[in-house]
Structure 1
Amino acid sequence: MLYYAAVFFVIALVAAVFGFGGIAAGAVGIAKILFLVFAVMAIASFLLGWSRRP
């Protein structure tokens, strides 16, 4: 998931360089959502793994 967030961020950067503001804004929005989903899943995984240790 973090990979896809990075891919959309790179797409946004390339689109911004070439002047496609709408595409860049959309790609940044998608990258933000994917990064937040990744962060929530990583924190949940950490907490669940930590709570199951004997």
Structure 2
Amino acid sequence: MQRARRSLRSTVERALDRFGARGGGDLVADLALPVSTAAVAQLLGLTVERTGAWSS
């Protein structure tokens, strides 16, 4: 569970960094969707490379 928590925390931090670097954006498309997609993928045991198609 700790590994999952660290991974999700990293995903959230990257999404927030990108969001902030652009000066904002669409909260759902730029933050909620990538984070929730990563969380579900992690629960299913999928790699990050395989989740790209989900968010397109």
TM-score range, shorter chain: 0.3 to 0.5
Give the number of the structure with larger relative contact order, counting CA–CA contacts within 8 Å between residues 6 or more apart. 1
Query: Is the radius of gyration larger for structure 1 or structure 2?
Result: 1
Q: What TM-score, normalized by structure 2, do the two folds share? A: 0.40
Greater percentage in helix: 1
